[in-house]
Amino acid sequence: MLNINLLRALRLKPTKLIKAAPLCTKKGKTSSESSSSSSSDDERALNKTNLKKRSEEAREKLNLLLTKMVQEDSSKEKSSLKFAKAKDHRKRDVRKEAGTESVKSEPIDKGVVKAVQDVAESLGGDVKQTESELLQKLLNPVKEEASSTLSLNDLFKGMQIDREVKKVDTSRAEQVRQALQNVQPKAAQSHRVTKKRKPHQLESVPIDEQVNLHIEQRLEIFNPEEVCTWPDSSMNSTWHALHQRELQLSVTHPPSNYFQQMILWTNQGKIWKFPIDNEQDLDEEKKVYFTEHIFLDKHLEGWCPSKGPLRHFMELVCVGLSKNPYLTVQMKKEHIEWFRDYFKEKKQLLSEVGAFPAGFDIDQGVQKVVESNEKSN
């Protein structure tokens, strides 16, 4: 417990600073461990080896100082809030640090220096060196020089031994490793690329057990068999139409090729529909069968003489009309009717020139036709 407290307290500062300073990671190190890992492991091992020699009394004092340091830490964070820049909004992997609230760089003040001093003193041994080492880590993690690597290696070994002895620390070591993966994922990983990352093993926070999405237990409010027999709601049809429209629009994105654009235009009714039908959208005309357009002779029956020049002329009119695509059937009919009425008016002249066969009376014929039309209507 004591160990963990100590470690937590000591880990706080260096990791924070490392995370805050973007350039802090050390380069030129091809070995798999990174500076940040060594910085935290370093202190751990150092403190641990020293601690073993310490008396109970000293431990208590140390513990007290460290808790003070943590408290000071959190108060500092509050005061530094106003310095937070916009980019700090970005979520970091905060949650992985058990005790850390947020990741921020803070000015190091005398309080920290004092705390470090106290720690070093309580540890005993080479007080000055311990203190300067700690301070160096805290204040200047960037400029960690090669001079420290020798002792660092020793300490690293020490840490490993320690871990073998105390199984409790394994998860913490994992945490450290994970914390530095955020800073320099590649360096830390290069020697274990093959190892698949199992996130739930690395997390320090409690983990939910596997979730079964198909549990049997229900809310027991609805009775499924009954519900199936209930009618679907048919209310608010306009609302539904609008809702569907909005849904459709929310998945309509700028077309990413010409075909998509054509699909869009087709749906908006701007271009021909495939397969091409040249009578597209001519809905009124669709109701009329094509024979109505072509066989117009029936409109001559009754009023037109069955032979002679008049018949000849009217048949030609029908042929012409049957080939005209621009007129509707109604217009063609009216056209023929115009001739009918015209000839009716001119019947005097027509019978004089002998255009009517003998005994033909156009008036009667027209009368009949009109009557039969009215009847059928």
Partner 1 sequence: MNISSVYLKSFITRSCGQRISACLFTTDVKENIEIPKRIHRGPTDILRALESTVKRDYTAAHYKYHDDPYLIPMSNLGKRTFAMAQEAGRKAAYWVRQENADLFQHQEADPMIKSFAPKIMYNESSEVTIQDLNEVIEKSYVFDAVTIYKLLKSKNVDVPAVAMQQLLELLCFYNHEEPLLEDFIEERWFKQSFKGKERQRKTWKDGDLAEEIFISFDNPNEEAYSAIIQGMAKYGQVDRSWQLFEEALSKNLLLSVDAYNSIIGVANFLKEAYDLRWTFVLDMLSMMAQAKVKPNLRTLNNVLKTLSTMGTSKIVKENALKTLAEFRAMNIEPSLASWYYILITFCKERGPVSPILKNIMNELEGKDLQIKDEKDTFFFVTAMDICHHHLHDLELANRVNNLLNLHNNYDLIGDSYKESIYYRHYITLLCKTETLEEFMQNTYLKLVPHIYVPEPSVMLEILKCVEANDAVEYIPRLWSDVIIFDHVNRENLINLVLNILVSSENAESATLAERFSTIAWDIWNKIENQNENKINKISFTGEMLGKIMTLLLKNDDFEKACIVMDKLQNDQTTVLGVSSFEALELFVNHCVKEKLPSKAISCIQYAVDSGFEDAANLAVTLNTSLTLDETHLSKLSVIVGPDVFK
> Which of the ranges 19-27, 104-112, 294-302, 366-374 carries the binding residues for partner 1, by CB under 8 A?
19-27
Of 78, 216, 359, 374, the one binding partner 1 (CB under 8 A) is 216
DSSP string, 116-180: HHHHHHHH-SSHHHHHHHHHHHHH-STT--GGGHHHHHHHHHHHHHHHHH-GGGHHHHHHHHHHH
Of 150, 251, 353, 358, the one binding partner 1 (CB under 8 A) is 251
Taking the C-alpha atoms of residue 60 and residue 65, their distance in angstroms, rounded to an integer, is 9
Per CB under 8 A, contacts with partner 1 among 67-96 are 87, 90-91, 93, 95
Residues 169-198, interacting with partner 1 (CB under 8 A): 181-187, 189-190, 193, 196-197
Q: Give dist(CA 259, CA 244) in Å, integer.
A: 24
Q: Which of 102, 153, 171, 261 binds partner 1 (CB under 8 A)?
A: 261
Number of residues located near partner 1, criterion CB under 8 A: 89
Single residue of 53, 166, 191, 243 touching partner 1 by CB under 8 A: 243
Rounded to a whole number of angstroms, the minimum distance from the CB of residue 205 to partner 1 is 6
Answer yes or no whether residue 359 interacts with partner 1 by CB under 8 A: no
**Nearest approach, Cβ of 370 to partner 1 (angstroms)?**
33
Residues 55, 147, 257, 348: which binds partner 1 (CB under 8 A)? 257
Torsion angle of the four alpha carbons 296, 299, 303, 305, in this order, in degrees rounded to the nearest 10: 20
User: Among 75-83, 201-209, 295-303, 345-353, which window interacts with partner 1 (CB under 8 A)?
Assistant: 201-209
Nearer to partner 1 by Cβ, of 199 and 359: the residue is 199
- Residue whose structure tokens are 């037109």: 304
Q: Are 134 and 58 in contact (CB under 8 A)?
A: no
Residue 361 in contact with residue 350, Cβ under 8 Å? no
**Tokens at 236, concatenated:** 């608010």
Q: Positive or negative, the Cα torsion across 107, 112, 116, 117?
A: positive
Q: Which of 43, 48, 47 is nearest to 14 (CA)?
A: 43
32 binds partner 1 (CB under 8 A): no
Exactly one of 249, 323, 342, 359 binds partner 1 (CB under 8 A); that residue is 249
Given a contact cutoff of 8 angstroms between Cβ atoms, the answer to whether 188 and 177 are in contact is yes
Sites for partner 1 among residues 262-301 (CB under 8 A):
262-264, 266-270, 273-275, 281-282
Q: At closest approach, how far in Å is the CB of 94 from partner 1?
A: 9
Site for partner 1 in 112-131 (CB under 8 A): none
What span, in angstroms and rounded, lies between the C-alpha atoms of 253 and 261?
10
